[in-house]
Amino acid sequence: MHRCFVPQAGYDSVMSTVKKLLHTRYRVDDLERTVKFYREVLGLAELRRHKSSRGSELVFMKAPESEETVELCHYPASGPVKVQADLTHLAFEVDSLEEFGKHLTAHGYSYSDGPHLRPDGGGIAFVDAPEGYEIELIQKPMAMGL
């Protein structure tokens, strides 16, 4: 059950639920290879990197038009990363699945599924990142002419 705080007269309003998504973490075995994929293939910018107090190497990356970041985490002490099929994925918007497919090919990658285009011009496709995490690419439908 979802509960919402309703302020009483005379009391300050206090938010008792989360405000917004800040980042999503993906643990990886090969941090530099994964950072290169996110930077060169997906076009994300590296914002910062640092080592956590428990020894994790962290790199925060961001898509050009997003507020949320992706945190890539290298933490060998927890053992090798084993990504299960259909466990999780990140979804990014692209202008054209066809053009992005050409970009993937130029970087030695290809779609693992799709592209699947709809009559309205929208569609989806998937590519596997180096650690096996699935990346969904979404092409928005074409705007209808006036």
Give catalytic residues, as residue numbers. Answer: 136
Alpha carbon distance 14, 123 (integer Å): 41
61 DSSP assignment: E
37 DSSP assignment: I
**By C-alpha distance, which of 70, 86, 66, 95 is closest to 126?**
86
Tokens of 23: 């980042």
Alpha-carbon torsion (80, 49, 26, 77), positive or negative: positive
